[in-house]
Chains A and B, each alone.
Chain A
Amino acid sequence: MASQTLYDKLWNRHLVAELPDGSALLYVDRHLLHEVTSPQAFSGLRAAGRKPWRIGPNVAVPDHAVPTRRRELGVAGIADRVARVQVETLTRNCHEFGIPLIELEDARQGIVHVVGPEQGLTLPGMTIVCGDSHTATHGAFATLAMGIGTSEVEHVLASQTLRTQRQKNMRVVFDGAMGFGVTPKDLILALIGRIGTAGGTGYAIEYAGEAIRTMSMEGRMTICNMSIEAGARAGMIAYDAITEAYVRGRPHAPEGTEYANACRYWQSLRSDEDAVFDREEYFPVSALVPQVTWGTSPEMVVGIDGCVPDSAGPDAAAQNSMKRTLDYMGLEPGQALKGLPIDKVFIGSCTNARIEDLRAVANLVKGRKISRSVAQALIVPGSGQIRLQAEREGLDTIFQKAGFEWRAAGCSMCLGMNDDRLQPGERCASTSNRNFEGRQGKGGQTHLMSPLMAAAAALTGKLTDVREL
């Protein structure tokens, strides 16, 4: 057999049928659901008199619009009536169709892409889909994981398959070791800066190289998570001993002999030595500095020692776009990023709200205070389990003593569907994944960065090079 990439292997293993029109029917091993992109899919099933093909692969958890305060009140604590009805609808749909649900009050509740890996619902070799573009996160486990639309959610519920097109293969080699103060978030932001937000469109990206091989699963998830910000529906990383150590003993991981058998198969989840990629990006990381976005697209990113570009070049449309961006962001061409005052700090999201992120932040802010000029600094753990773990380690005390608010798990200010939002004109240092206009609140100005950099900004009240603290 010809050499295959990891993506080829996952694709071939899950191919149910090649369809006459050139698309393919791909089997789905895990389907994750949440309150926002599922109600219309359940309505569609009901209207057509259909039932889920299988129950087992589905797991639902409310995360997008849930409050991060007063969690003890449960669903009744959702002040926004429309959002409450949506979460209640998820509960009702799951009960009606028999779909396993992790409820809001459950200690396992959290952001769907944090909960999946944590509970061992994400296993190497799977295909994983969810009505959420950050589903690529799970690719860190050598899975083929993709975001889908609600019509496709309904299709997967009904048939356990997805009609889809084969992507091209891209490999990104992050070579070398990350320097002091540089994190996986900086790598992925810098990559997006290089290839652009459409650079990966039509590709499945495999991340490789020394920096990836030595990276924790948390870091790998951060990298794969933002594949969609590079335009790629799926990002993935080969299986290795680090993957195995993370999966072992998780609640839904196989056990005993079956686990040993699974591990033997999982060993094959890597690209063949001589596999050919349609595109390769070589990215040395040792000289990389912490990254920060200046604009309203994740590709508008520079090192913290950098400046807003002087000009957008000769193209009129590009100049208009640049002007619009800078007007929205309240910035001038050529302006330095370092020292820019910020109003709020958000440490959270499916990109950066795992225990390793929180430990890094705690390590930096321990015994320090956030700046008086910062109106609000939120730390929103990715799941209830992470919240408990952080509390066991005393991180919550460190955060609160420093002046951070310690919240319950959810998507929170990453997209501002709950009441954690920016007000117009507020500038935010955020560990989330999108700096689009209005993303964190209408008129809010978002700068994306790593948890370390966001923590540094909280301490000084301005964009800061964490390496200088």
Chain B
Amino acid sequence: MEPFTAHAGLVIPFNRANVDTDAILPKQYLKMLGKTGYGDFLFDDERYLDPGDVDIPVGDRRPDPDFILNQPPFDRGTVLLAGANFGCGSSREHAVWALHDYGVRVVLAPSFGDIFFNNCFNNGLLPVILAQSVIDRLFELASQPGEVSLTVDLERCEIVQGENVWSFVVEPGRRDNLLSGLDDIGRTMALGETILEYEAQRRSVEPWMFR
């Protein structure tokens, strides 16, 4: 995983609550075997007027001009500004892969679906929980003419937009993971002895769990 220290990018205002992972990446793309190649299918149902599937070239499809990702300057955006409970529903990590593959590096929202939130940290995508008042202010800024860019600094836990600075909170372990780009599994494997000790103790009281 590539480390995440800070990211500067254009805001994509996506003002809708309860955006589910089915919407972020529809089911037909869950058949793929890799972690990349999903970016073209991000928000597929809304982004294209005609139906898609893994073997239909996106170049042959008609983008929906009313959809925000098809509108400049938002088509260059990398910071998604969203409503409450973003990423609810299905556990599909494919939704995170699609956002990341498209180029989104930060999602700002008042709250997130729990599993999606978790999945982000395992893929170098930063989900930031902000107070509703801050989110409202950001939507207000993003609705002005022109483009709105901001910088999300994970080392300082700050969002900077022009004169405005907002701080945010990330759990320290998750922050360290993103900053270092370290693999969780490697760190856990270093605790192998502890896991073996736990198993031995547990086996003595619940042997049926180890049949």
Contact = CB atoms under 8 A, between A and B. Distances in A.
A97 interface: no
Contacts of B16: 317, 320-321, 324
A155 B88 contact: no
A36 B30 contact: yes
A437 to B, nearest CB: 6
Interface in A223-269: 228-229, 231-233, 254, 258-259, 261-262, 265
Contacts of A36: 30-31, 92
A89 B32 CA distance: 11
Nearest to A40: B35
B184 A163 contact: yes
A133 B113 CA distance: 11
Interface stretch (A21-29, A271-279, A365-373, A448-456): A21-29
B172 A22 contact: yes
Nearest to B123: A151
Interface string B174-210: 1010000001110011011011001100100111111
B31 A297 contact: no
Interface in A80-126: 80-83, 85-86, 89, 123, 125-126
A202 interface: yes
A85 B198 CA distance: 38
Contact-residue bracket for chain B: 35 or more
A434 interface: yes
Contacts of A438: 22-23, 26, 45
B205 to A, nearest CB: 8
Contacts of B183: 48
A202 B115 CA distance: 10
Contact of B17 (A148, A152, A229, A317): A317
Contacts of B58: none
A82 B55 CA distance: 9
Nearest to A126: B209
Interface of B: 15-18, 20, 22-23, 26-28, 30-35, 45, 51, 54-55, 83-85, 88-94, 96, 111, 113-115, 118-119, 122-123, 171-174, 176, 183-185, 188-189, 191-192, 194-195, 198-199, 202, 205-211
27 contacts: A16-B195, A17-B194, A25-B191, A27-B195, A48-B183, A53-B195, A56-B210, A65-B31, A81-B55, A123-B209, A148-B91, A148-B115, A149-B115, A152-B118, A158-B188, A159-B185, A161-B188, A161-B195, A198-B84, A198-B111, A231-B85, A262-B208, A318-B17, A321-B16, A324-B16, A417-B27, A439-B27
